[in-house]
Structure 1
Amino acid sequence: MQKKLENNPTFLFVVAAALIDLQGHILVQQRPEGKNMAGLWEFPGGKVEAGESPATALARELKEELGISVVEGDLTPATFASEPLDGRHLILLLYICKKWSGKVQNLESPDMAWLPLEDLYDLAMPPADVPLVEQLSKLLR
């Protein structure tokens, strides 16, 4: 059973998924205009809301952003990153997901792409996402 994380004035908990398709490509999305760090590429996901476990939050975010359903047990915790952000400390938890139902749709971002892992190194990404690419590379070898 996963513990529930509470965002507070000091910490901001965020979850993201490395969705990996049958060809081994990973999905990234571009942050929309009007949001902090607009135009940068990131793994899909979002904030953990009050009372949610990280896996529950990620399943909800993937439904909202991509229109897919994910069974929480199919989310494998992979790594995390930590970065100062707007007077708080962002804790970004990355999960690997290779199984979902529904067709991936771009519902909230201006663009998305399925890319080989090595192509992620060339993307402009938020500071917290950058170290996740290297960690993901190590885990997927």
Structure 2
Amino acid sequence: MLRGRSRRWLAATFPGGGRTVISLAVIALLILFAGGIAVNLVNQLIIARHLERELAAAHSEVSALQATTQALAARLEYERSDAATEAWARDLGLVRDGDIVIVPERVPSAIPQPPPTTPVPSPLPTPPPNWQRWWHAFFP
């Protein structure tokens, strides 16, 4: 084991002998073990908080989708009803059997409308010669 100088240093530093060194080593290992457990616990708490946020977001998305589903179900129920069919037919100009159709007659207005004047397009200006465009490109 230990001889000479090391043994004297050990005896002077730790008067209890080898038992004190073993006790310190065990305490150091216990502190490291407790620190590892604490770090693991903190990591688990961080993960749990992140998962709770994801769960809350998923719950809000589910409730929004349920509201959309209910709105679509109500719309589908209306579209399958007779009232929706009749409104659709009226929009297309269809009538039921037995309905009396009245087509209003267009009465010409008393003031004659002047014919629309078409504007005369002004002639486009002639573009400058090619040599002038090059001149302006190099010497603006």
Q: TM-score scaled to structure 2, two decimals?
A: 0.15
Q: TM-score scaled to structure 1, two decimals?
A: 0.15
Structure (1 or 2) with the larger CA radius of gyration: 2
Does 1 or 2 have the higher relative contact order (CA < 8 Å, sep 6+)?
Answer: 1
Q: Which has the higher strand share?
A: 1
Q: Which has the higher helix share?
A: 2
